[in-house]
Amino acid sequence: MAATHRKPKPSSTTSTDDPMTETEVEADPEDIGNTQTQVSSLNQPSSEQPRERLHKRYAVSVRWEREQEQQKSRQQANVSSSGPITEEKPMLTYSIEDFHRYFCCCARRVGSMFILKERQDGSPLVIAGPCWPFCTFVTVPLIAVLSSLVAYFIVLNEDSGLPWWFALIYLPIIVFVLVVLFCVSCRDPGLLERVTDEEAAENGWFWNEQVGSYRPAGAMYCRETKTLIYDYDHLCPWTGTAIGRGNMIAFKAFVVSVNVLCYLSIGLVVYLVLTQVF
């Protein structure tokens, strides 16, 4: 039988020419301590250097992204051909885009959504939907102005005949409705990041051609927001945004509370009319 030879393990000792003599190489303890100090200082994050904010790549309309890139390329071409940089003011179109251009100029745009405030990981903290002007200039004034008139002329009026504790019920309902409306309108409805890995198809995900991304079974594409939203239900113009998994609970609370406020206000007006007539 042929003899098998194993590769000898590397030894920590250094052999001289004489096989019977071996000399060990000892490291200086002071050098080891300095090296460990340098390594630990490199591993520890510096508190002076600010952490860069991440930007997630969401699954938005491929056509919208192409239009944005073409617009940027045209602007760069105009700047390079005109010589000195001169910013031209955009013309008024008297459309919804004018609101987006002037009121959301500092926001990060994702499709028709506007991220006003981001977390450190890039997820939206405060976000506005495509119908935010309708919510701001129609929904909020209807709730705030009409309920304030009812509160001033009926609830807080001593001649109305209502008990004083009724204001402790009506006024908190107004505040609750406005707070829940803010939670619906300015919360992430469930935006999904773009996933192009083919392994997602093996997990039951489906390919969506409009956004160029795989999507889970519960996600749908919203044409108004031009994004992929998880558990997408509908677009509510009264709240100004899309309704999905992220703001569904707040939306249900808003629907219930605003109906309570509406019927309660109507009842108070009817009560005032009846007391004045009879």
Residue (of 110, 19, 101) closest to 65 by Cα position = 110
Share of the chain above pLDDT 90, in %: 37
Amino acid at 163: P
More confident residue, 56 or 253: 253
**pTM of the entire structure?**
0.70
Task: Kindly tell me if the per-residue pLDDT of 19 is higher than 70.
Answer: no
d(CA 63, CA 212) in angstroms, rounded, equals 10
Q: What are the boundaries of each domain within the chain?
A: 132-277
Please state, rounded to an integer, the average pLDDT across all residues of the chain.
77
**Strand pairing partners for 23?**
14
Give the per-residue pLDDT at 232: 94
Residues 6+ apart with CB under 8 A from 53: 118, 120, 122
Give the per-residue pLDDT at 108: 79
150-to-120, 159, 175 alpha-carbon distances in Å: 43, 14, 14
Rounded mean pLDDT, 176-181: 97
Task: Kindly tell me if the per-residue pLDDT of 23 is higher than 70.
Answer: no
Give the per-residue pLDDT at 106: 66
When mean pLDDT is compared across 14-18, 56-60, 222-226, the lowest value belongs to 14-18
Where is 128: in which H helix or E strand?
strand 124-128
32-to-21, 28, 37, 42 alpha-carbon distances in Å: 27, 7, 9, 16
Rounded mean pLDDT, 145-156: 93
More confident residue, 54 or 52: 54
Residue (of 11, 58, 90) closest to 225 by Cα position = 58
Give the per-residue pLDDT at 59: 86
Give the per-residue pLDDT at 256: 97
d(CA 212, CA 221) in angstroms, rounded, equals 11
More confident residue, 24 or 123: 123
Give the per-residue pLDDT at 57: 84
Angle subtended at Cα 264 by Cα 261 and Cα 269, rounded to the nearest 5 degrees = 125
